[in-house]
Structure 1
Amino acid sequence: MTNLYGDFNQKIDYVFKIVLIGDSAVGKSQLLARFARNEFSLDSKATIGVEFQTKTIVIDHKTIKAQIWDTAGQERYRAVTSAYYRGAVGAMLVYDMTKRQSFDHVARWLDELRGHADKNIVVMLVGNKSDLGTLRAVPTDDAKEFAERENLFFMETSALEATNVESAFLTVLTEIYRIVSKKALVANDDQGGNSALLKGTKIVLPGPDAEPSNKKQICCYSS
């Protein structure tokens, strides 16, 4: 069960921090607006620094608050936003499928992400603006090949038409929940070691000071 939205009066079982990364103008803010508020604005302005929104969903009868951070893609803000990778358990790595350069920069963004966050963070490669099919500059196979090589999930989305936006976010959140739940079960059986973080009912990763978890190696790919 991954598509039921939680009652905001419910107890929150988990808080998962997700970061949106990628070049400027690839549609990161629009993807967030579509997922969090089901909105889309043709007059969207560039994000300055970092903004975040939350959305509460229910997965497997657990109430999960997704805390989604929208990072500015402009070079001059990257030093500011890099601190916000810390504590993230998921990331949406976004490129514009009509702009080849934004895809060519994906590897650099991924390196930066892995340099500042847990190396086993759950990552979804997102080819946005699929509604502009006639302007496609990045073949789907190129993106699939990159995602397979780097063990990423992959989807093409359209924030304008709301295509695959919810599916992309829910896939990442569900994978994070699966990993955390599995580790929690192991922690309940293991009274020693460094399992204290996972013995409770909640994992809260609110911001840059949160310590990354030691997740197991993830190998995940979806088309």
Structure 2
Amino acid sequence: MAYMADEDYDYLFKVVLIGDSGVGKTNLLSRFARNEFSLESKSTVGVEFATRTIHVDNKLIKAQIWDTAGQERYRAITNAYYRGSAAALVVYDVTRHVTFENAERWLRELRNHTDANLVVMLVGNKADLGHIRAVSVEEAQAFVQRERLFFMETSALDSTNVENAFTRVLTQIHHVVSNKKVLGVGADPAALPGGQTIKLNTEDDDDDVRAVKKTSCC
């Protein structure tokens, strides 16, 4: 399927941020997309997203990053947005062990709604608060080895590893696409095609979530 191009990029990938409320998902998004940080950021209501374009392996990759609310009352809403994701960052707060414990639940929910080729990174945010750390690097590494995830600690406050985390995930998605490591018929690592409308009220419209390389229309 071909789509009219309205921007100069080769691929458009959808990435979701999930995890408990207050772990810093919104600030990770704003730091990567706009190099901004707010000490007074409020909890996300529903879903917000931002975009940024970077170069990966001589290709121009546009990331559409979705910040999903962590509050329980919004989980029924956010479930609809997992479909079509090419990657996910499962975020916890290194100073709150319960947010790390809940990462397993978020990961399970993610896998129940996405393709097996999804690129997943566990992100320990607020690494600048290491002096009050509640989750050790070793504990997190044991989890990611068991679950076969990527892992990185970040700080949205001082920018530590934020760029690296998103770039590594986007690079891995591109490798999956370029190497055609696709499971099943039509199960491309998901990305939103250039110029295609995002239908927020649908769960099963594969035309909106299929991974494609951008081409000229017809």
Instruction: Tell me the alpha carbon deviations over residues 142-177 of structure 1, each in whole angstroms, 9 at most, x when there is no partner.
Output: 100100111100000000000000000000000000
1:21 aligns to 2:18 (yes or no): yes
Q: TM-score, normalised by structure 1?
A: 0.81
How many aligned positions are there? 196
5+ long unaligned stretches in structure 2:
1-5, 212-218
Conserved? CA contact 1:97–1:127, under 8 Å: yes
- Contact in 2 for aligned 1:118/1:213 (Cα 8 Å): no
**Cα pair 2:11 2:62 within 8 Å, conserved:** yes
- Partner in structure 2 of residue 137 of structure 1: 134
1:62 aligned onto 2:59: yes
Change (3 A) 1:142 1:56: same
Q: Which structure ranks higher in relative contact order (CA pairs < 8 Å, sequence separation ≥ 6)?
A: 2
Deviates more, 1:153-162 or 1:10-19: 10-19
Q: CA deviation at 1:213?
A: 6.5
Of the three residues 27, 42, 49, the one matched with 1:45 is 42
**1:12 aligned partner:** 9
Which runs of at least 4 in structure 1 moved beyond 4 Å after TM superposition? 193-198, 205-210
Q: 1:44 offset after TM fit, Å?
A: 0.3
Cα–Cα, structure 1 residues 148 and 197, in superposed 2: closer, same or farther, change >3 Å? closer
Residue 118, structure 1, aligned to residue 115, structure 2:
yes
**1:150 corresponds to 2:162:** no
From 95, 98, 101, the equivalent of 1:98 is 95
Letter in structure 1 aligned against 2:83:
R
| Distance in 2 of aligned mates of 1:117 and 1:197 | 11
Gaps of 5+ in 1: 1-8, 187-192, 215-223
AA aligned to 1:49 is: G
Percentage of matched positions with identical amino acids: 60
Partner of 1:220: none
**Residue 180 of structure 2: SS of its match in structure 1?**
helix
| Superposed CA RMSD | 2.5
